[in-house]
Amino acid sequence: GGHTGCCIVVREASTSTNFLLSVLLHLNPLLAYSLKNCAVFPSYDVWDIFVTCADRDLTSIPDDIPENTLSLDLDTNQILTVNRTDLRGLSKLLYLHMECNAMSHIDDRAFEDLVHLRDLLLGSNTLTTVTEDMFQGLFRLENLSLEKNQIQYISPKAFQPLTRLQKVNLCYNRLHQLTEIVPILQLPNLRELVAGMNRFSSFETDDLPFNKSSLKILWFNGNPLRKFSVTKDVFPYLEFLDLSKCVPGFEWDVKENNFLRSLKGLYLSGTEVSFEMYRTIFQSAFAVEYIWLSSIKEWLNIGLIKFVCQMPSLTRLNLTLNNIYTLNATLLQPCSQITELVLSSNAMTNLSEKSLRPLNRLEELYLDNNFLHRVPVAVRGLSKLIVLDLSFNDIGELGCFDFLNLTSLLNLFLQRNRISVLRGCAFKDLKELTELNIESNPVYTMHDTFTVSLRKLFILNMNMNGFQGLRKGDFKVLPSLQALYLQSLMICSVENGTFYGLHHLITLALSAYTVNRDIFRGMPNLKNLTLYLPASGNSLSHQFNEDPPFVFLPFLTSLTIYNSNKKSIVISPNLLCGLQYLEEFTAVTFFTETPHTDTFTYTPRLTSLQITNSHVTNLKPELFQPLTNLQALDLPKNKLRSLNFLTRANLSALIWLNLRDNELTMINETILQSLPALTYLDLSGNPLTCDCLSIGFIEWVKNNNQTQVVNAYQYDCYFPPSKQGTKLLDFDVQSCKMELNFLCFISSACLVVLTLITSFMYHFLRWQIVYACCLFLAFLYDSRNRRKGFPHLYDAFISYNVNDEAWVYREMLPALEGEQGWRLCLHHRDFQPGKPIIENIMDAIYSSRKTICVISWNYLQSEWCSKEFQMASFRLFDEQKDVLILLFLEEIPAQQLSPYYRMRKLVKKRTYLSWPKAGQHTGVFWQSVRRALETEDAPEEDSNLLTAGRAP
């Protein structure tokens, strides 16, 4: 490793979906539930869970952390302190991360219950002292970080309980006495101490009141060191010592060479000591194998390298950042034993032809981040070389002799150069090459690149190059290839047979413009395919032939398609035909409409399905029925308005459901209960409704002990507008229960009567009865109001399903109220609270000139909406006025309307309009609505007057 052990906050594996998913997919459904401020991720072990509360502006530790938590991440908050009750009972905790908070104080014994804790990270806070009882109870702690605090004082007893501690990080603090860290150096299991960037002015073993430390790695860089002295044999195990950037010149005093007999690595970059002092150091550190000497250019010039290379065990030399513009023939003359040489970041333009000649044992050579224009002649003939890194240079082309005699080379890195022409002859001696990276070069043709056989090449990375096409047989001489990366920004045509001969290929990333099955011939064992469909400026759209494109890839397990093109793609239902082993399918911006219901009939083993950022609106249960093994379903950034498809989708193995950023307004908890294995549900970013109809869902979120609704306590209310700015789970459930109880009473009374009558008349007069009732009610009401001469308060009453509320508020209100100036009556906004719903509906219909029914699948399934519809259509008959406007949000075939035969009749006769499909212009549509609203109330039989869309 490099210098990074110190002072760089290395965040734990970020909580990326894929990581979590892979965790999730290997476990039984288990206890996981919604926390107020945190998200829970189950681990492989059935009873253990990971909790993350990172980056949420918390000021104290949440009080609902489950007791079986294994890992707790509280990084990046505003937590001020840890008190004795905050972490009580978390005895299973192994990892506790509290970096980047505002803690200036931690209570004594605050961690006492954490008897299993192994990792405690408290970096980037403002602690000033480590108190005597701070770490009581942490018997099993192995790794402690206190970096980037303001610690000046450590109590001598603070570390006593930590007998298992192996690594302590104290860098970037304000310590200045070695005595402060004596208790740490005495810990029986200590391996690594990071004490750089403090204020220590000396490191003298005379100050250490003990005989032996188990320390192996000591970072002591960046201290204002005046003296480093080892006068007794206290560090017999010390292997690595970092004294870099200890400015200015310090005194090195090691009494006997034997004291540093284990020292293998010495970091002296940027350390300014005298030439003589350097010599002294190199003489006493006789066992050193690896030395870092960055930023010491001047000493190199006057011959320091001679003394460095006299160290008998030295094999690895790091000379980065020394401004060695040209490496001359003599500099490395004394270093014939070196096997690894790092000359990165030296602004080097040239290496003299003979400069590496003496290094005949060289195995690894790093020349990256320089200004080389060509592959240096000096590398030719390094027959033992295994790794050659020439990345981040200015190399423009490769010549036939550039890699002459590099017969042992395994890894060649050429990424980020300016190579435009690749000639196959360059690789002719690289018989052993296993990895070749030519990413991010302007190579414009692949043709004739691989003419000599690279029999052992495993990995070829040619991402981000400039070639426009791939031709038949381009890779035929690379028979062992297992991973091939060909992502590119250019439009790429791929000839049939391009991949002939790649029998061992497992992973392929490819940008392609037209995709047909013949381009995938020749690599029958491919398992992972990532397909990029690049953006194109012209009017062509991507082509997916009608033939199933992937039939020649029978063992594919993972397929990912990214589309960057705005144009829509015609995707045939047999897209996935032949992929019977497919386990993961990811499609980003690929589907431009809801996938065909047959799409997944070919992939029964699918466990993970992700369709992101597509225009998916209305999923059918049939789509999922073949997917009996589906465990993770990710549908973020779509336009879903309803989850009804889940009820019959039969997803009995589904664990993970991500519905972020859709248009769901109402969640029906009974639908979610139909998913028996669901433990993880994400509904963030949906415009949720907070009213009495939501209480079932709210209570389910809070009380169910199987499914965690991630971040549920942070979900905002979008509807009704009066609730905006409040949180869904803060909704006052009690106020609805009053109303509900009353409703229950009334409706059960009605039910009794109705059941009596209905059962009586069911066989004869089913529908007629219902209508008669409604008509009668409406008639009564109507005559009452007519007597009163009821004025029209509104231009239109909008009847819609709550799942379509987002559309109504986002699309309809701005157009009709905002631009066209109509007054609309909306259920949520304008209904009078306290009035019975039926009465409210009737009021609304009769005090509006027209009734607009927003018709969608949801609408047809909702009872109230069809009541509204029925009453409005009654008014139509009653008054012989054209009061009804039907807006079809979705394509609904006429035969599907048959249960709603009244509607069907109306559709045939009356005013209807269809919302344009995604991408089409909506202006014409709203103009048609305006005309419909403007028409007088005269009866117009059979007036198919507005046909802005197709006939349903």
Q: Which positions from 377 to 406 touch ligand NAG by CB under 6 A, shown as an x/- string?
A: ---xx----------------------xx-
Indicate which single residue of 342, 606, 842, 871 sits in contact with ligand NAG (rule: CB under 6 A): 342
Of 79-87, 785-793, 796-804, 940-948, the segment contacting ligand NAG by CB under 6 A is 79-87
The nearer residue to ligand NAG, 197 or 655, going by C-beta atoms, is 197
**Least gap, CB of 498 to ligand NAG (angstroms):** 11
Give 446 or 808: the residue with its C-beta nearer to ligand NAG.
446
- Shortest separation between residue 60's beta carbon and ligand NAG, angstroms: 3
Contacts of 634 (CB under 8 A, 6+ apart): 17, 586, 608, 609, 610, 611, 612, 656, 658
When binding is defined by CB under 6 A, the residue of 101, 169, 320, 799 that contacts ligand NAG is 320
Closest by CA to 943, choosing from 915, 916, 908, is: 908
Query: In angstroms, what is the minimal distance from the CB of 671 to ligand NAG?
Result: 37
Q: Which stretch binds ligand NAG (CB under 6 A): 327-335, 463-471, 603-611, 686-694?
A: 327-335
Q: Is 15 in the site for ligand NAG (CB under 6 A)?
A: no
- Provide the minimum distance between the beta carbon of 61 and ligand NAG in the complex, in angstroms, as a whole number: 6
Q: Closest by alpha carbon to 93, among 124, 61, 125?
A: 61
Closer by beta carbon to ligand NAG, 292 or else 700: 292
Q: Do 56 and 35 contact (CB within 8 A), yes or no?
A: no
Site for ligand NAG in 403-422 (CB under 6 A): 404-405
The answer to the question of residue 292 lying near ligand NAG (CB under 6 A) is: yes
**Least distance to ligand NAG, CB of residue 597, Å:** 26
386 neighbors 411 (Cβ within 8 angstroms): yes
Q: Find, among 170, 269, 264, the residue nearest to 217 by Cα.
A: 264
Comparing CB distances to ligand NAG, the nearer of 244 and 848 is 244
Nearer to ligand NAG, 389 or 795 (CB): 389
> Which residues 458-517 are close enough to bind ligand NAG by CB under 6 A?
496, 516
Q: Which of 15, 17, 43, 60 binds ligand NAG (CB under 6 A)?
A: 60
Q: Inter-axis angle of helices 733-788 and 863-879, to 10 degrees?
A: 10
Task: Burial-class residue 210 by CB neighbours within 10 Å (0-12, 13-18, 19+).
Answer: exposed
Residue with smaller CB distance to ligand NAG, 320 or 612: 320
Q: Which residue has the tokens 């349903």?
A: 952
Residue 330 touching ligand NAG (CB under 6 A): yes
Q: Report d(CA 176, CA 187) in Å as an integer.
A: 20
Stretch touching ligand NAG by CB under 6 A, among 325-333, 618-626, 674-682, 882-890: 325-333
Give the interface segment with ligand NAG, choosing from 18-26, 294-302, 420-428, 632-640 (CB under 6 A).
Answer: 294-302
Report the C-alpha gap between 546 and 532 in whole angstroms: 19
Q: How far is CA 256 from the centre of its chain?
A: 54
Alpha carbon 462 to chain centroid, angstroms: 25
Secondary structure (H, E, C), 459-528: EEECCCCCCCEECCCCCCCCCCCCEEEECCCCCCEECCCCCCCCCCCCEEEEECCEECHHHHCCCCCCCE
Q: Least Å distance between CB 260 and ligand NAG? A: 21
- Closest separation between CB of residue 23 and ligand NAG, Å? 30
Q: How many other C-beta atoms lie within 10 A of the C-beta of residue 514?
A: 16
**Closest C-alpha among 266, 249, 255 to residue 230:** 255
- Locus of tokens 């070919």: 602
**Nearer Cβ to ligand NAG, position 330 or 336?**
330
**Identity of the amino acid at 704:** N
User: Judged by CB under 6 A, which stretch of 83-91, 127-135, 485-493, 674-682 contacts ligand NAG?
Assistant: 83-91
- Judged by CB under 6 A, the number of residues near ligand NAG is 27
Site for ligand NAG in 906-935 (CB under 6 A): none
Contacting range for ligand NAG; rule: CB under 6 A; set: 293-301, 589-597, 644-652, 722-730: 293-301
User: CB 475 → ligand NAG: shortest distance, Å?
Assistant: 17
What amino acid is encoded at 385 in this protein? L
Shortest spacing between CB 325 and ligand NAG, in angstroms: 9
CA distances from 328 to 92, 291, 349, 402 (A): 60, 21, 12, 19
Contact residue for ligand NAG among 34, 145, 173, 318 (CB under 6 A): 318
CA–CA separation, 512 and 494 (whole Å): 6
Binding flag, residue 261, ligand NAG (CB under 6 A):
no
In angstroms, what CA-CA distances link 324 with 292, 298, 301, 331, 353?
A: 15, 10, 9, 10, 15
Q: Which residue has the tokens 């990276």?
A: 437
Options 274, 328, 564, 943; binder of ligand NAG; rule CB under 6 A = 328
Minimum distance from CB of 290 to ligand NAG (Å)?
Answer: 8
Assess 36 for contact with ligand NAG (CB under 6 A).
no
Q: In the beta sheet, which residues pair with residue 421?
A: 397
Q: Is residue 84 near ligand NAG by the rule CB under 6 A? A: yes
Q: Please, which residue, 177 or 516, has the CB nearer to ligand NAG? A: 516
CB atoms under 10 Å from CB of 238, counted, come to 21
Could you give the CA distance from residue 769 to residue 901 in angstroms, rounded to a whole number? Answer: 16
Mask of contacts with ligand NAG, 518-557, x by CB under 6 A? x--------------------------x------------
CB of 86 to ligand NAG, least distance (A): 5
Q: How far is the CB of 53 from ligand NAG (least distance, A)?
A: 13
Q: Which is nearer to ligand NAG, 173 or 269 (CB)?
A: 269
C-beta closer to ligand NAG: residue 380 or 639: 380
**Dist CA 73 CA 79 (whole Å):** 12
89 in contact with ligand NAG (CB under 6 A): no
> Which of 172, 200, 299, 366 forms a contact with ligand NAG (CB under 6 A)?
366
Q: How far apart (Å, rounded) are the C-alpha atoms in residues 333 and 352?
A: 12
Strands (E), 3-159: 39-42, 49-52, 69-73, 81-82, 95-97, 105-106, 119-121, 129-130, 143-145, 153-154
CB atoms within 10 A of CB 661: 19
300: alpha, beta or left? (left if phi > 0; alpha if psi -120 to 50): alpha
Q: How far is the CB of 83 from ligand NAG (least distance, A)?
A: 4
User: What residue has token string 């799942």?
Assistant: 803
Using Cβ positions, the residue closest to ligand NAG within the complex turns out to be 381
Closest alpha carbon to 549 in 566, 564, 565, 533: 533
Candidate ranges 77-85, 223-231, 851-859, 904-912; the one touching ligand NAG (CB under 6 A): 77-85
Residue 591 tokens read as: 């589907």
Smallest gap, in angstroms, from Cβ of residue 561 to ligand NAG? Answer: 19
At which residue do the structure tokens 């003299």 appear? Answer: 352
695 three-class SS: helix
Residues 6+ apart with CB under 8 A from 752: none
Q: State the nearest-atom distance from the C-beta of 444 to ligand NAG, in Å.
A: 21
* Token digits of residue 463: 């991402």
The footprint of ligand NAG on residues 651-670 (CB under 6 A) is: none
Stretch that binds ligand NAG, among 324-332, 661-669, 674-682, 713-721 (CB under 6 A): 324-332
820 in helix, strand or coil?
Answer: coil
Binding site for ligand NAG (CB under 6 A): 2-3, 60, 83-86, 269, 292, 294, 300-301, 318, 320, 328, 330-331, 342, 366, 380-381, 404-405, 496, 516, 518, 545
